[in-house]
Amino acid sequence: MDEVRIIEVKQDILADNKKVAEDIRRNLAGKKAFMVNLMASPGSGKTSLILSTIEALRNELTIGVIEADIDSKVDSDKIAAQGIKAVQLRTGGFCHVDATMVQKGLDTLDLSQYDLLIIENVGNLVCPAEVDTGAMMNAVILSVPEGDDKPLKYPVIFASVEVMVVSKIDYLSLSDFNMDAVKERVKALNPKIQIFEVSSKTGEGIEPWAKWLKEKVKAFKQEELS
């Protein structure tokens, strides 16, 4: 009887995606455009954070946004209403974007015109965690209403990002969210992670976050020029 052949489909798919992602990074580096992949649960405030970031940096950086949703352009309409170029990716059921999808979005842009590109990934703390989008930096939002236990339940995504933004801190007085506990849990997974506490509603914490992001873009451009 012939042996059953085992094909590692996930491994092959991720390897193919990695190659496309590396091509994207090389292309963006040549254009001096820095790209961030922003991940979070539905309703955590991804679009609100992007809008607040745009408002803080629009006079200093040229920003473009790639919006990903299963079947909607609600968020891209909000971005476009602020005079910012937004590209909508409809994933058609996929719970994340991959590098090939991102490449299709980038193909519609003149990358030399942008300092900062932000991918708003599909709302999910599981699927996007291991998929390389071609971004230079990965970020995750954790909103106060979600609770401080999410790093325990979804460790992969918190271990894989460079920065975590704790959003909706205006809800802190209305919840039992333990900021010290969530920081301890995340640092145990990812000791070098940067953490920001923000409220897009009140504006609290947006300035330090935007300043840090601007410095990341500046450092990237200087590195590519050297």
**Over the stretch 82-133, which tens digit does the pLDDT of each residue have?**
999 999 888 777 788 999 999 999 999 999 999 999 999 998 999 899 899 9
Query: Burial, 10: exposed, middle or buried (Cβ in 10 Å; 0-12, 13-18, 19+)?
Result: exposed
Query: Residue 14 pLDDT more than 70?
Result: no
Q: Is 170 helix (H, G, I), strand (E, B) or coil?
A: helix
Residue with tokens 């961030």: 36
Confidence at 5, pLDDT banded by 50, 70, 90: very low
7 pLDDT above the threshold of 50: no
Give tens-digit pLDDT for 177-221: 999 999 999 999 999 999 999 999 999 999 999 999 999 999 999
Q: Which of 189, 208, 185 is nearest to 197 (CA)?
A: 208
- CATH number of the 16-214 domain: 3.40.50.300
pTM, rounded to two decimals: 0.91
